[in-house]
Every structure is written in structure tokens, then in C-alpha cells.
Amino acid sequence: MTRNIVVIGAGIVGAACAARLVMAGERVTIIDRVGPGDSCSFGNAGGLSPSISFPLATPGMYRQIPGWLLDPDGPLVLSWKHLPAAAPWLARFLREGLPARSEEAAKGVRAMMRETFEDYEPLFEFARAKSLIHRVGQIYVFSTEEGFAKEEGAIRVRRELGFAQEILDADALRQHEPDLAPIFKRGVLLPTHGHCSNPQRLVQLLVEACVAAGARFERDSVVGIEIDGQGAKVSGTTSSYRADHVVLAGGIWSNDLIRPFGASVPLESHRGYHIQVPYGGVRPTRNVAWSEMKTLATPMDGGIRIAGTAEMAGVEPPPTARRFELLRQLGRQIYPALDTTAASEWMGHRPCTPDSLPVLGAVRGAPRIICAFGHGHIGLSGAAYTGRVIQQVVAGTADQEELKRFSHDRFN
Ligand SMILES: Cc1cc2nc3c(=O)[nH]c(=O)nc-3n(C[C@H](O)[C@H](O)[C@H](O)COP(=O)(O)OP(=O)(O)OC[C@H]3O[C@@H](n4cnc5c(N)ncnc54)[C@H](O)[C@@H]3O)c2cc1C
């Protein structure tokens, strides 16, 4: 049976869901008010990181909160002005740091991330996107012994989970990445990781492949969803669309459309920034993540992207100019020969839940609406799992037990 599916949102999550649905023979309409991959999925660091095993909220993290408030130049920043609006999310985030809750969320993170490449493989094939994917490993680098010591727990867990990793000293680091600054004394090479060298193009290729296979892409802004006896009616500002199921992959804006069904979830933008520098004297081969500064440097098509920052300041305010200057400085600290004069600048909204898990699955009481949002810092990696699971939800073959941890109900 072929169903009519409307996918709201053409970021990487919506594109992965649409592709899986098209591949399964469904009739798909993708709607976005901007072009495919023009929002958060445009500017990420490209990291495809199957061994990421922890949520952001971990035991002991509350000690860091004063630092977030007091250091406007730190990797995690909370604007004082936004504090009242962010307070409920932060309270929930603190709660998610309790040991039992954090461990439970870690299981969800691992379930989503572990098969990143296996889940993506059919999508790369479908979209003919393999030239954008580089499974050349990723290196976490440490500028302090203290920073490296903090990684010990993660090293142990990766070992337990069977992920390959290699501990590098300063010389080995330089052998892998000769342009790295001498400030880095330690590193961990994760050979099963990789990166996408043009995250926006990946989304575009997925959507183009869907359209080539019979799907439609509509540039429209969705203002409401109604459920009636025949199915769902999706109202846009220029048109309306009938569907058997609606997949809501609207990133940070997703709550607007499920609030009328009593299903809104705590969602906060962790505003992320990047600068991208045209290639010159520096030629990295893989994604390098500076652990202490939570900053990533990725060789992209057309330049080196320095990305990072989680700034809680709301969706409306313009980017904070100072963050771009900080990224320039950090880029030059990672690669001293980096010339940042001609850097382009970008800021986008990571859709973050307090437990770092996305919201996946049907809305309670409105099962024709299926959530696929809230992937926070790991949505590029987690989109392929999401696409696979959402197609199963539509087909009625999803593992309901596995889905429970991703339900919007967990926040009630
Ligand atoms: C600096 C930075 C670095 C990152 N690095 C990585 C990384 O290395 N690895 C990784 O895995 N992840 C990374 N991420 C996270 C990743 O980019 C996000 O999790 C992911 O892009 C979220 O995708 P999305 O499709 O949910 O949202 P978006 O890309 O924001 O797409 C949502 C779309 O929905 C549309 N939409 C919403 N509401 C409506 C409506 N009512 N009508 C019409 N359209 C609507 C929007 O216009 C938008 O285009 C990073 C993020 C940032 C900011």
C-alpha cells in the first residue's frame, strides 16, 4: 500500500526520513520555507562519529554552570538576558545529569550513533553522495594533561563497546596531522569515524534524489496541521497538503506545530558558529576536535571549517560578532599557519533536548503526526538512524520498546 507522506523540514533529518520513505515506495512531499539544507544542517562540522556514547548532561556537570554564565568567551555560554526563558530547560537539563538518568540517555545515544555509517550507506548510494564522505578517522586533541585525564572514562567506554581507538603522543599527532600546533601533547585517533565535506550538499543531493524518484519539494511555510476522518491536512502560507502521515522534522521550530496537540517538548537552541577559511598553506586530512575548547576543524570542500560554541541566547537575536573573532583565534591556535582573513561566517540553531536524545515517533493522541526532531549536537550523525526508524514507524514495523526512550512523553 502506498501512503501519502508530508515531511516538514528539509534539513538532514527531514531529508534522511524522506529518502527512506521514498526508497520504501511511499509518495512523499517535502516542505520547507527555505531551501534544502539551508538551516542548521548547512553549517555543522561534518563529523560522522559512531562512537559518541554520552549525552551532554552528565553527573558533576552542575559545577560548570557558573563558568557558563560568567565566561562570555567559553565554549558554552548562557546569555543573562535569555536566562529566564531558558530556566525550565536548564532545570530539566540538570535533572538529566543525575547518574541513573544520564546512563539511560547514554543507551539511547549509543543506539542512535553506533551504526552511523551502516545506516547511511543506502542513503549515500541513493543520493550518489559518496564523494562527500570521508571515512578517514577523527582525532580528539588535548592541550592539557588535565583535559586528557577527563577523557579517560570515554576511552574506557569505547574500549568496552569495541570501538577501535589509538592513543597518540605529540610526535604521533604530528605524523597524522603535520600542521597541528605544538600546544597539543595528546590525542585519540578514532579510525571508524569520518566526516562529510559538504553537509548542505548532502541534504540537497538527498532531496534531489527523492524528487528524481517521484517525490515533490514544496517551498512553503507550514502554519498548522489538522487531523480529520480522512487523514491529516497540512496548511502552508501558499497551499495546503493532504497526507496519511506527517513527519515533523522542523528542527528548533518543531514545537510550534505540535503544541496544539499538547505535545510540546523542552527544546532549546544551542547556537553554533563556524568560520570557513579558503585553503592556503594548511592541509588537514581529517576532522580534528580540540577537546578542552569544544572546537572542531574540518577539511571541507572549499576550505577549512572551524566550528563550535553552544550559546544559549534564543532563536531571534542576531549572531554574536565576538564569537566569530574567537573562532578565528581558536583556528590559529589549532593551525598556526591558518590565514583567517578571508573567512566566511555562519551561525545556526542546534535543536537540543535536555537529555540529548531526539524526539522520535508518533504524537500521543495524534498518531498520524510523527516526530523526528531534537538531535542537538549530533544530528548529522544521527539522521540516518532516524530515517530508518521513521520509515518503520510509518510502515507500522518499528520496535515500540526501542522507541519508548525517544518518545515526547518522557518529558511529562
Ligand atoms: C556549529 C555546529 C556544528 C555541528 N557539528 C556536528 C557534527 O560534527 N556532527 C553531527 O552529527 N552534528 C553536528 N551538528 C548538529 C547538526 O547540524 C544538527 O543536529 C542537525 O543539522 C539538525 O538537523 P535538522 O534537520 O533537525 O534541523 P534543520 O537543519 O534546522 O532543518 C529543519 C528545517 O525545518 C524547516 N522548518 C521548520 N518549521 C517549518 C515550518 N513550519 N514550515 C516549513 N519549514 C519548516 C526549517 O526551515 C529548516 O530548514 C552541529 C551543529 C552546529 C550548529
Name the H helices within 232-296. Answer: 255-258
The rounded Å distance from CA 142 to ligand 1 centre is: 28
Ligand 1: nearest atom to the Cα of 270: 53
Distance CA 46, CA 303 (A): 13
- What b/e readout covers 173-202, taking b as 16+ CB neighbours within 10 angstroms? bbebbebbbeebbbbbbbebbbbbbbbbbb
Strand, coil or helix: 116: helix
CB 255 less than 6 A from any atom of ligand 1: no
Ligand 1: nearest atom to the Cα of 37: 29
| C-alpha to C-alpha distances, 159 to 142, 191, 243, nearest whole angstrom | 19, 13, 46
The rounded Å distance from CA 88 to ligand 1 centre is: 22
Q: Tell whether pTM > 0.75.
A: yes
CB 10 less than 6 A from any atom of ligand 1: yes
- Domains of the chain in start order, with CATH, are 4-41+200-266+356-411 (3.50.50.60), 55-98+132-195+267-352 (3.30.9.10)
pLDDT given for residue 187 in this prediction: 98
pLDDT given for residue 68 in this prediction: 73
pLDDT given for residue 64 in this prediction: 77
* Beta-carbon count within 10 A of 365 CB: 10
8 Å CB contact between 55 and 105 = yes
CB 372 less than 6 A from any atom of ligand 1: no
The rounded Å distance from CA 352 to ligand 1 centre is: 10
DSSP H or E run through 161 = helix 152-161
pLDDT given for residue 297 in this prediction: 98
8 Å CB contact between 108 and 338 = no
Distance CA 144, CA 334 (A): 14
pLDDT given for residue 264 in this prediction: 87
Ligand 1: nearest atom to the Cα of 256: 41
The rounded Å distance from CA 176 to ligand 1 centre is: 31
The rounded Å distance from CA 43 to ligand 1 centre is: 9
Pocket test for ligand 1, best of 41, 320, 327, 390 (most atoms within 8 A of CB): 41
pLDDT given for residue 3 in this prediction: 96
CB 221 less than 6 A from any atom of ligand 1: yes
pLDDT given for residue 201 in this prediction: 98
8 Å CB contact between 288 and 297 = yes
Q: Angle at the Cα of 64 (from 63 to 69), degrees rounded to 5?
A: 120
Ligand 1: nearest atom to the Cα of 14: 25
pLDDT given for residue 388 in this prediction: 98
8 Å CB contact between 310 and 272 = yes
Distance CA 116, CA 301 (A): 21
pLDDT given for residue 67 in this prediction: 76
| C-alpha to C-alpha distances, 244 to 8, 26, 218, 309, 359, nearest whole angstrom | 14, 10, 17, 39, 20
pLDDT by residue for the chain (412 residues), tens only, comes to 899 999 999 999 999 999 999 999 999 999 999 999 999 999 999 999 999 999 999 987 877 777 777 888 888 899 989 999 999 999 999 999 999 999 999 999 999 999 999 999 999 999 999 999 999 999 999 999 999 999 999 999 999 999 999 999 999 999 999 999 999 999 999 999 999 999 999 999 999 999 999 999 999 999 999 999 889 999 999 999 999 999 999 999 999 999 999 998 999 999 999 999 999 999 999 999 999 999 999 999 999 999 999 999 999 999 999 999 999 999 999 999 999 999 999 999 999 999 999 999 999 999 999 999 999 999 999 999 999 999 999 999 999 999 999 999 999 8
The rounded Å distance from CA 79 to ligand 1 centre is: 22
Distance CA 368, CA 362 (A): 7
pLDDT given for residue 61 in this prediction: 80
- Torsion (CA) 155, 355, 376, 382 in degrees, nearest 10: 60
Query: How much helix, strand and coil, in percent to the nearest 5, is found in the chain?
Result: 40, 25, 35
If we measure between CA atoms, which residue out of 259, 251, 252 comes closest to residue 223? 259
pLDDT given for residue 74 in this prediction: 82
Query: Which cell numbers in the block locate residue 345?
Result: 561566517
CB 9 less than 6 A from any atom of ligand 1: yes
The rounded Å distance from CA 347 to ligand 1 centre is: 11
Longest Cα–Cα distance of the chain, Å, equals 67
Distance CA 160, CA 212 (A): 43
- Number of residues that make up the chain: 412
Ligand 1: nearest atom to the Cα of 348: 53
pLDDT given for residue 70 in this prediction: 80
8 Å CB contact between 105 and 356 = yes
Distance CA 88, CA 110 (A): 26
If we measure between CA atoms, which residue out of 47, 75, 43, 52 comes closest to residue 138? 47
Nearest alpha carbon, ligand 1 atom 31: 11
If we measure between CA atoms, which residue out of 286, 276, 270 comes closest to residue 331? 276
pLDDT given for residue 123 in this prediction: 98
